Amino acid sequence: MSIPAESPSEEEFERSSHHPPAPSDELFDITTTVDPSYIISLIRKLLPANVKHGEICKITTSSPPENGGDQSRSIDESETTENIENSVEQPVDYSFHCQNKHEDVAAGEEAWEEFGCILWDLAASKNHAEFMVENFVLEVLLATLLVSKSARITEISLGIIGNLACHAVPRKKITSTNGLIGAVLQQLFLDDTPCLTEACRLVTLFLPSDESVLLAEALQSEHILCRILWIVENTLNIQLLEKSISLLLAMAESKQDVVAILLPPLIKLGLPRILVDLLSFELSKLMEERSPERYSILDLILQTVEALSVNDDYSQEICSNKELFQLLVQLIKHPDKAEFANCCVTASVLTANILTDATDLALEISQDLLFLQGLLDVFPFASDDIEAQSAIWSILARLLVRIQKTDMSPSYLHQHVSILTSKSEVVEDELLNYNVDDSSEDHRSSTKLAARTFALKGIFDILSRWKTLEDHLKGTLYMEGCYVNEREVDKMLHYCCKYTKSTAEELMNDSTMD
């Protein structure tokens, strides 16, 4: 069963418009002044409706109180904020038993939504977030998550906690609040798309933090990981798909101790296969129609696969996947890359990683002229990314080494020269940008220098072969409709000589310094 990409009703649309979700940007720098007593009053109003309205509620804990007495109690609106902690700070296994009229519950949910959305926005501020956790907002939200039957209230609760998790002090408080992490993870088993979206976002925020190990230990259950993978595979909602894949990416890019906890069971559950299937689907959508809202999903999938490809324990499984390699080649060959340039850059880095381990695959694409052309087209989009530039040069070097070893016919040689010279400005710009921008780089720069040297020597060899062809052969090839600008050939030869010489000197200097 797929999680549907719902078409909201008019009532739901008005409600979501009136109470917008949290800002998409997780990096907040908001300065506002709100009366602390107002924040406290909002937190008190978030207590479950049966408690807020003075109904008698029995709190059943998982263990008896120390004095052996009964923990049932009555709470009314007159209680102070200090009493909130006593009313809701209980172990995770408790429930509220009450008898509310249906009309009262509906009215309570509407008011809760209004107050909750205000706190959702206020939690974006570091000062407000810290003040809120000092005044037991997490305990109140925990109580709400455990008793609420409203998907909207659950979504808002998760949204507030998610915004609080963007700040260091509240994030630590979240992990130390007994039962809260477990309650949040339990929401991953809901069938409500907005709730799942907020739950994935919240968990993702924790993985790069100092509290990530605690979360990983809670996440490592096969039951929970299976559910996350099920969501990724089955949801039709673009926003949920993006957030759930972002969660997988965060797991793959986490600290080593977190990766050691989470990746083995994920790999066992078929994560590489799922990622390849997702990539195949997104590429098929890309070929059928342009959907800009899906480009970020495509890039997230590629980044997640890339993160696995650089992990020594799982790189072989990624690099040996022929279907994955063909999908990457297909993407790089796409003629119009401007709208999804980041995806092509990521695909180039991933391709270079694969070719490092599976060198035989270079032979398969060395004869693919469209791939060569597509790869050169990626250069302008990688101008500010030295890792991506190095990856492109590395792929070129591996391809051109194979081409040099083949006995090319004049026609085949002509096609290669035509492509290389048609991209001479792209190559020239990359060489010039490198000298200006990358002089301060360390070992990454040396890696790029070495790859660039091999690639330029390969280009030089192909162009030199062309120069030795007899004029009558060139004329015949021109008549076949594939033109080569001789001035561009000479220009490319000049740059190859110039930059291979300068590269050799730089590499020698680096070696001397080492």
Q: pLDDT digit string (tens) for 19-61? A: 444 444 444 444 556 788 999 999 988 887 555 433 323 322 2
Strand partners, 97: 58
Among 1-10, 146-155, 277-286, where is mean pLDDT lowest? Answer: 1-10
In a domain, 272, yes or no: no
Separation of alpha carbons 202 and 225, rounded Å: 15
Which of 67-76, 406-415, 432-441 is the most confident on average? Answer: 406-415
Q: Is residue 350 part of a domain?
A: no
What SS3 class is residue 57? strand
What pLDDT is recorded for position 364?
85
- Cα dihedral sign, 204-206-208-213: negative
pLDDT score of 245 more than 90: yes
Inside any domain, residue 338: no
Q: Which amino acid is at 134?
A: E
Q: Which residue range is the domain that position 416 belongs to?
A: 359-514
Report the candidate in 215, 316, 211, 224 with the shortest Cα–Cα distance to residue 261: 215
Q: Position 415: which residue type?
A: Q
DSSP state string for 242-265: HHHHHHHHHHHTS-HHHHHHHHHH
pLDDT of residue 360: 86
What residue type is assigned to position 179 of the chain?
A: G
Q: How confident is the model at residue 83 (pLDDT cuts 50, 70, 90)?
A: very low
- Give the side-chain half-sphere CA count within 13 A for 194: 19
Could you read off the pLDDT of 261-273 as tens digits, one per residue?
999 999 999 999 9
* Six token digits for residue 98: 């009450």
**Torsion angle of the four alpha carbons 397, 401, 404, 408, in this order, in degrees rounded to the nearest 10:** -90
Q: How far apart are CA 410 and CA 422, in angstroms?
A: 18
pTM above 0.85, yes or no: no
The DSSP code sequence of 448-492 is HHHHHHHHHHHHHHHHHHHHHS-HHHHHHHHHTT----HHHHHHH
Confidence class of residue 358 from pLDDT cuts 50, 70 and 90?
Answer: confident
Please state, rounded to an integer, the average pLDDT across all residues of the chain.
79
State the pLDDT confidence band at 405, using cuts at 50, 70 and 90: confident
Residues with Cβ within 8 Å of residue 345, at least 6 apart in sequence: 378, 381, 382, 385, 388
For residue 235, count CB atoms less than 10 angstroms from its CB and return exposed for 0-12, middle for 13-18, buried for 19 or more. Answer: buried
Q: What is the largest CA-CA distance in the chain?
A: 105
In a domain, 474, yes or no: yes
Q: Considering the domain boundaries, does residue 218 fall inside one?
A: no
pLDDT band at 129 (very low <50, low <70, confident <90, very high): very high
- Token readout for 290 is 């342009």
Higher pLDDT, 418 or 91: 418
Q: How confident is the model at residue 507 (pLDDT cuts 50, 70, 90)?
A: very low
> Residue 400 pLDDT more than 70?
yes
The stretch 391-402 carries a mean pLDDT of: 92
Domain finish residue from 165, 190, 206 = 206
Short-list 170, 162, 173, 185, CA closest to 92: 185
pLDDT above 60 for 496: yes
Mean pLDDT to the nearest integer, 293-321: 94
Confidence of residue 403 (pLDDT cuts 50, 70, 90): confident
Of 181-185, 282-286, 449-453, 469-473, the least confident: 469-473
CA dihedral 189, 172, 169, 245 (to 10 degrees): -40
Higher pLDDT, 93 or 502: 502
What CATH number did the domain enclosing 44 receive?
1.25.10
| Residue pair 346/331 in contact by the 8 Å Cβ criterion | no
Of the chain, the end-to-end C-alpha distance in Å amounts to 59
Over residues 400-416, the mean pLDDT reads 82
Sheet of 96-97: strand order equals 73-74, 56-59, 96-97
> Which of 150, 183, 206 lies at the terminal end of a domain, its last residue?
206
Asked if residue 185 has pLDDT above 70, the reply is yes
State yes or no: pLDDT of 9 exceeds 80: no
Helix (H) or strand (E) holding 212: helix 212-219
Q: What is the pLDDT of residue 174?
A: 95
pLDDT over 90 at 470, yes or no: no
Q: Greater confidence, 89 or 75?
A: 89
Evaluate whether 395 touches 355 at the Cβ level (below 8 Å).
Answer: yes
pLDDT (0 to 100) of residue 479? 55
| pLDDT, mean of residues 191-212 | 95
CA distance 275 to 449: 33
For residues 316 and 354, is the Cβ–Cβ distance under 8 A? Answer: no
Q: Where are the alpha helices (DSSP H) in 358-407?
A: 361-365, 369-378, 386-404
**What integer pLDDT is reported at residue 3 of this predicted model?**
53
The per-residue pLDDT for 444 is 57
Q: Which amino acid is at 336?
A: D
pLDDT reported for residue 277:
97
What percent of the chain lies above the pLDDT cut of 90?
50
Q: What is the mean pLDDT of residues 3-13?
A: 45
Of the ranges 81-90, 181-190, 308-317, 412-421, which is most confident? 181-190
End-of-domain residue from the set 206, 229, 263: 206
Whether residue 166 lies inside any domain: the answer is yes
Instruction: Please state the domain count of the chain.
Output: 2
- Listing DSSP states for 421-435 in one string gives HHTHHHHHHHHHHHH
* In the predicted structure, residue 260 carries a pLDDT above the cut 50: yes
User: Is residue 10 included in any domain, yes or no?
Assistant: no
Q: Which residues contact residue 37 at a Cβ distance below 8 angstroms, ignoring those fewer than 6 apart?
A: none
Q: Which two tokens stand for residue 196?
A: 């799942």
**Domain-located, residue 295:** no
CB 200, CB 247: distance < 8 Å: yes
